[in-house]
């Protein structure tokens, strides 16, 4: 099996693990929090940070039917569309997050 490279870092057999942190929706709608999480990922040893960017209408329907409502738990009664609307990462954050990652040496 051969190695690959990401941002000049060899990945493959015999190489140290390449750690990817997941930003997901942990930013709570705040670019400042998202930037801070990139910094914390670097401090924790991450080599990269994975972003998920979507709009609610790209992954679900704006439907109030029972099959689109969460049953039980923290988000009981809420619709998937409403949750994704609250949790989505705006496209215009990408440049800021990529720039911060580059400054820190995070892919």
CB contact set of 25 (below 8 Å; sequence gap of 6+): 52, 86, 87, 88, 89
What is the mean pLDDT, run by run of 10 residues, along the chain of 107 residues?
A: 90 95 90 97 97 90 91 93 90 96 96
Give me the pLDDT at residue 93, please.
Answer: 95
What is the domain partition of the chain in residue ranges? 17-51+91-107, 54-88
């Amino acid at each position: 099996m051969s190695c690959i490279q990401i941002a000049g870092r060899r990945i493959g057999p015999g190489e140290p693990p390449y750690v990817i942190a997941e930003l997901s929706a942990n930013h709570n709608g705040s670019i400042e929090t998202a930037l801070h999480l990139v910094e914390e990922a670097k401090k924790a040893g991450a080599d990269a940070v994975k972003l998920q960017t979507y709009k609610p209408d790209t992954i679900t329907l704006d439907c109030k039917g029972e099959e689109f409502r969460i049953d039980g738990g923290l988000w009981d009664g809420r619709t998937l569309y409403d949750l994704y609307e609250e949790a989505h990462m705006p496209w215009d954050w990408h440049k800021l997050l990529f720039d911060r990652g580059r400054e820190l040496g995070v892919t």
